[in-house]
Amino acid sequence: MIPVNEPLIREREKEYVLECLQTGWISSAGKFIAEFESRWAEYCGMEYGVAMCNGTAALSAAVACIDLKPGDEVILPTFTIISCALAIVENGGTPVLVDSDPKTWTMDVAQVAEKITSRTRAIMPVHIYGHPVDMDPLIELAQQHDLLIIEDAAEAHGAEYKGKKCGGLGDISCFSFYANKIITTGEGGMALTRDPDLAERLRSERNLAFRKDRRFFHTKLGHNYRLTNVQAAIGLAQLERIEEHIAKKRWMARAYTERLQDIHQLQLPVEKSWAKNVYWMYGVVLAEDVPMDADDFALRLHAEGVDTRPFFLGMHEQPVFQERGLFIGERYPVAEFISRRGLYLPSGLTLTDGQVDQVAEAIRIVLQ
Ligand SMILES: *Cc1c(COP(=O)(O)O)cnc(C)c1O
């Protein structure tokens, strides 16, 4: 079976982790945390990094910083992971959805303006599967309406929008370093910002809402979102090799596209002229006239020895939100189409040319 993903762990990770063990710095203090935070912030063109225990926590802490009042709204794509909507609901806000662009699968920014109301406080673009969101129209809307931009760049480490790194474009950006992300800490995440006050706030959100002025004195309920020095050690070693990881993903995309582009039943990933796509995952979408859906396609590929993962299911189709009276009767045709007809192929950093051949061959067999 060709796995859908595998992390790439080398000697440097072991060396840094061993240093944590030998020096006893195994919890959330220690030099690797500060080093990982500042290097990642610098890499993305931001000032401050606040490491978190995962990407979901980073999003929750970021949304906590805007102090949503009941009824306050945050605009995000329906086609994303639940972490995004969860962060908004958990912080007392109302998620407001837009559909996806049919080519890039990221949020359709042309739909955002009509969703802005007097209650809108923020926009949360999500760079999907490594392709950046078209940010300029969002930045302009945010300036006009005094909104914050919280970028979810969990899938877009090193991706670029008009020459600038994803995760360096919003007021706060959030990352995951889960084992399948482009660089990993096993479990882990980070929030970045340029604003020293937001950075301080993020640190407080990470650490039980402790206050700087008076320890063990609390004016709000917080969480423990801390990352360990051991995880940061892995992250720092991974960061040293990030360009190699990105080059491998871009090689993978070229290799798949070369072999699949003549199959008209498949829609393949794109790279807009203003974008550098890092192809976190190589997604394919079955054309309308193919007489099977993505579940069926996945089963048949599995039988040919190819592991895949389904695309996201839109937030408006989630029972957990409908039960709360959210998104009732709302339709997002592009997201609905790609969630039923899309999946991603083996996209790991250890993928070989021979495996790409095998996957392409399996696809031809299944679609024949
Ligand atoms: C992976 C991911 C997250 C969540 O990160 P975790 O570390 O798994 O909590 C959030 N947003 C997006 C877009 C992701 O892909």
Choose the residue to mutate in 174, 178, 190 for probing ligand 1, maximizing ligand atoms within 8 Å of C-beta.
178
Rounded to an integer, what distance in angstroms lies between the CA atom of residue 97 and that of residue 125?
Answer: 11
CATH number belonging to domain 11-99+106-239 = 3.40.640.10
How far does the centroid of ligand 1 lie from the alpha carbon of residue 51, in Å? 14
pLDDT above 90 (res 169) = yes
Q: How confident is the model at residue 211 (pLDDT cuts 50, 70, 90)?
A: confident
DSSP 52: E
- Is 226 in contact with 207 (CB distance < 8 Å)? yes
pLDDT digits (tens, 9 = 90+) for 234-272: 999 999 999 999 999 999 999 999 999 999 999 999 999
Equal CATH topology for 11-99+106-239 and 242-367? no
pLDDT digits (tens, 9 = 90+) for 266-306: 999 999 999 999 999 999 999 999 999 999 999 999 999 99
For residue 271, the tally of other CB atoms under 10 A from its CB is 18
- Is 89 in contact with 318 (CB distance < 8 Å)? no
Which atom in ligand 1 lies closest to the alpha carbon of residue 155? Answer: 15
Identify the residue with better confidence: 221 or 337: 337
Share of the chain above pLDDT 90, in %: 97
- Is 40 in contact with 188 (CB distance < 8 Å)? no
pLDDT above 90 (res 215) = no
For residues 88-116, give the mean pLDDT: 98
Predicted pLDDT at 196: 98
Q: CA angle at residue 71 from 218 to 224, to 5 degrees?
A: 30
Predicted pLDDT at 161: 98
Which atom in ligand 1 lies closest to the alpha carbon of residue 80? Answer: 13
Extents of the domains making up the chain: 11-99+106-239, 242-367
**Per-residue CA distances from 313 to 227, 299, 332 (Å):** 29, 18, 11
For residue 102, the tally of other CB atoms under 10 A from its CB is 14
Which protein residue has the closest C-alpha to ligand 1 atom 6?
A: 55
pLDDT above 90 (res 109) = yes
C-alpha torsion 151→155→160→161, nearest 10: -50
For residue 357, the tally of other CB atoms under 10 A from its CB is 12
Choose the residue to mutate in 86, 155, 172, 223 for probing ligand 1, maximizing ligand atoms within 8 Å of C-beta.
155
What is the rounded average pLDDT for all residues in the chain?
A: 97
Q: Is 101 in the pocket of ligand 1 (CB under 6 A)?
A: no
Superfamily for the 242-367 domain = Aspartate Aminotransferase, domain 1 (3.90.1150.10)
pLDDT above 90 (res 341) = yes
Q: How confident is the model at residue 212 (pLDDT cuts 50, 70, 90)?
A: confident
C-alpha torsion 54→58→64→66, nearest 10: -170
> Which residues, listed in sequence order, are joined to residue 148 by a DSSP beta bridge?
122
Q: How confident is the model at residue 347 (pLDDT cuts 50, 70, 90)?
A: very high
**Per-residue CA distances from 136 to 4, 75, 118, 141, 143 (Å):** 33, 16, 22, 9, 11
For residue 70, the tally of other CB atoms under 10 A from its CB is 8
